[in-house]
Amino acid sequence: MAEETLKSGILTNLFFEIIQSPVNIALVLLIVFLVYKIIKSRQNDFAVPPPAPQLPKLKKRDFTVEELKQYDGTQEDGRVLVAVNGKVYDVTKGKRFYGPGGPYAAFGGKDASRGLATFNVSASGEKYDDLSDLSTVEMDSVREWESQFQEKYDFIGRLLKPGEQPTNYSDEEDEPSSSTAEKPKDE
């Protein structure tokens, strides 16, 4: 009982001491303000951003360099495709990297092979690149990147060489929905 009275006496003294000095009041206000800011910023950290609307999976198909170009994330649906070592991947879920304003935006809608192999984030030509001048080490690097893309992103199709005919993937589609699908082709 005596201990409680002592404690409340100390607190009362402390309170009066604080409110007697304008400096102390200012310090208390500052502390309250900072604690408020910290709590608020923590709440913001935990706030889950609304999930980006999921785009329907792209039907498997091959692309020419020209066709690939439109998928740089600037078009209405915002889909982003990137080619690595002749394979086209849907990298839309990595849009923060490859979409407009991203650090690797130069790869969006492009063949990123040369850029990835040469550590050049802006190396992506306008024309088909056969990569034939890349060294063995650089080609190994391209293949390594390719397997990383394969693990993380959906494979959509191949990047076509000039004049190359696209593959007919209709027989590989899992949805047998399309009534216009062509007959399965023997490979």
| Contact residues for ligand HEM, defined by CB under 6 A | 94, 97, 104, 115-116, 119-121, 152
Q: Detail the DSSP E strand segments found in the chain.
A: 81-84, 87-90, 154-158
Residue number with CB closer to ligand HEM (121 or 134):
121
Least Cβ distance, residue 178 to ligand HEM (angstroms): 31
Measured CA to CA, the distance from residue 5 to residue 40 in angstroms comes to 36
Least Cβ distance, residue 105 to ligand HEM (angstroms): 11
Nearest to 158 by CA among 70, 98, 68: 68
Least Cβ distance, residue 7 to ligand HEM (angstroms): 51
Residue number with CB closer to ligand HEM (142 or 160):
142
Measured CA to CA, the distance from residue 91 to residue 54 in angstroms comes to 12
Which alpha helices (H) appear in 47-153, and where do they start and end? 65-69, 95-98, 113-117, 136-152
Least Cβ distance, residue 121 to ligand HEM (angstroms): 5
Cα distances from 28 to residues 9, 17, 100, 187, in angstroms, run 20, 12, 46, 78
Residue number with CB closer to ligand HEM (75 or 120):
120
Residue number with CB closer to ligand HEM (97 or 169):
97
Cα distances from 38 to residues 26, 28, 33, 34, 135, in angstroms, run 18, 15, 9, 6, 52
Least Cβ distance, residue 82 to ligand HEM (angstroms): 8
Residue number with CB closer to ligand HEM (63 or 124):
124
Residue number with CB closer to ligand HEM (65 or 116):
116
**Residue 157 identity (one-letter amino acid):** G
Least Cβ distance, residue 184 to ligand HEM (angstroms): 34
